[in-house]
Amino acid sequence: MGQIVDVTSTPWIDSGDAPPLALDRDKRDIISQGVADPLVDYDIVPLTYTNSRWSAFFYRASEADLKHVLPKCLDLEDDVIEFWYVDHLHTGLGPYGEFGLTVAASHKAGDGKTYYGGYYPYMYLTQDAAVFAGREPFGFPKKIAYIVTQEHGGKEDDGYGGFGNDYFNFTMERRGYLIHTATGRYDDAELPAKPAFYGDPSYGRMNLRLITDPSLKTTKWDLTYLPSEVTKATAAAMGRPETEGQHRFQLKPESIRTASAGAIRSWALQGTPFDNMGAMLPVKEMIGLMTFSFDLIIPGADTIWTQTIERTDEDIADLLFATPYVYTGRQRFPKPPGV
């Protein structure tokens, strides 16, 4: 009775598999809280991904719907959107599943330059470090969800050497509600359209980050921009000068599979009390599915537009929407067991 066992060794630090504790380093090497044990530490920088598997549904959405979800600093460039899942196998943040929706947009900067980018109004992931590595510095609007990405069938499986990938299944759930599911079989058809940013290196990626002060009195809006090509600084920081000018996203052409709209057997997308994507961006015309494998680099981001919202005490009082100690539909859902 009353045994106390504390295992206080950290052998992975001695071997160099993990960086020294944040407490034992220069403070400039701490990029995330808690400062004693950061959620996201500097052993993810530079952030690289190897052999991830991307599955993107392309569909047309209503222009009015698309403009509705874009912030005021962005203009819509295309009505074909990318609705994608990723199975990340090897990354600087470990393995995780991911979902996102990308809209082709542009921003006219103060200096007259127009920036083009894929903008993400919605993103979901399965893992905390990847969620907050995306959210906190860069502004990716990530939430956590249950995500399944599956390719299987079409090939005899003897237990060695892989299995087929003719059939696909994608499912995303959050807080007990199904957000999306789709199933079908690849037919390797030529798809009649793709989003504007496919194959166009003038399109980077954009996020809108909102940083609210602990007092709630200010919120700073930052439009962040990631260029599509590896810059000289990123190439140098990686110790790979030969990558300068290459696309950050290296697609493996031999890995591409496609499914035409008719080969997508089932598709369900719905708004839930917690997630409004199904209500905001329903399918107007399904184009098809494209799946491929890729490597990726994510660098630091530029901030190309900013505004700060200030709130008086009266404004903050107006924010108080809830009735104290009274709970309704948005506070009733299955308690998650964590990951």
Partner 1 sequence: MADQFAVTYVPGMDSGEIPPSPVDRDEKTAFIYSLVDPVWDIDVLPLTYTNSRWSAFFYRADEKRLRRVVPDCMDVEDDVVEHWYVDHRNTMLGPYGEWGLTVAVSHKAGDGKTYYAGYYPYMYLTQDSAIDAGRVLGFPKKEAFIRTLEHFGNPDDGYGVYDGKDWKFNQFSFLMIRNGYVIHSAIGKYNDAELSAKPAFYGNTEYGRMNMKVVTAPDLSKSEWQLVYLPSLVDKGLATAMGRPETEGSHRFQVKPESIRTASPENIEWFQQATPFDNMGAELPVGEMIGLMTFSFDLIIPAGQTLWTETYTRDATWAGAAKPYRYGLRHRFPKPVGLGA
Q: Which is nearer to partner 1, 30 or 193 (CB)?
A: 30
Q: Which is nearer to partner 1, 6 or 156 (CB)?
A: 6
Smallest separation, CB 207 to partner 1 (Å): 8
- For the chain, report the end-to-end CA distance as a whole number of angstroms: 31
CA 205, CA 203: separation in Å to the nearest integer?
7
Smallest separation, CB 290 to partner 1 (Å): 16
Tokens of 8: 């206080």
Residue 161 CB burial class (10 angstroms; 0-12, 13-18, ≥19)? exposed
Smallest separation, CB 64 to partner 1 (Å): 12
CA 234, CA 237: separation in Å to the nearest integer?
5
- The contacts of residue 150 (CB under 8 Å, 6+ apart) are 167, 168, 169, 170
Smallest separation, CB 183 to partner 1 (Å): 10
In the Cβ-directed half-sphere of 189, how many Cα atoms lie within 13 Å? 15
Of 206, 226, 237, the C-alpha closest to 45 is: 237
Tokens of 46: 């530079």
Cα angle: 251, vertex 184, 261; to 5 degrees = 75
Tokens of 211: 């940083």
The amino acid at 223: L
- Beta-carbon neighbour count of residue 105 at 10 Å? 26
Q: Which is nearer to partner 1, 67 or 199 (CB)?
A: 67
Smallest separation, CB 146 to partner 1 (Å): 4
Q: Which is nearer to partner 1, 51 or 255 (CB)?
A: 51
Smallest separation, CB 195 to partner 1 (Å): 18
Smallest separation, CB 13 to partner 1 (Å): 9
CA 18, CA 272: separation in Å to the nearest integer?
40
Q: Which is nearer to partner 1, 34 or 156 (CB)?
A: 34
Q: Which is nearer to partner 1, 26 or 254 (CB)?
A: 26
Cα angle: 286, vertex 118, 150; to 5 degrees = 50
Q: Which is nearer to partner 1, 68 or 155 (CB)?
A: 68
Of 118, 127, 122, the C-alpha closest to 87 is: 127
Q: Which is nearer to partner 1, 62 or 199 (CB)?
A: 62
Q: Which is nearer to partner 1, 121 or 158 (CB)?
A: 121
Q: What does the DSSP 8-state code read for residue 1?
A: -
Of 262, 258, 259, 281, the C-alpha closest to 270 is: 281
Smallest separation, CB 23 to partner 1 (Å): 6
Smallest separation, CB 156 to partner 1 (Å): 26
CA 89, CA 51: separation in Å to the nearest integer?
7
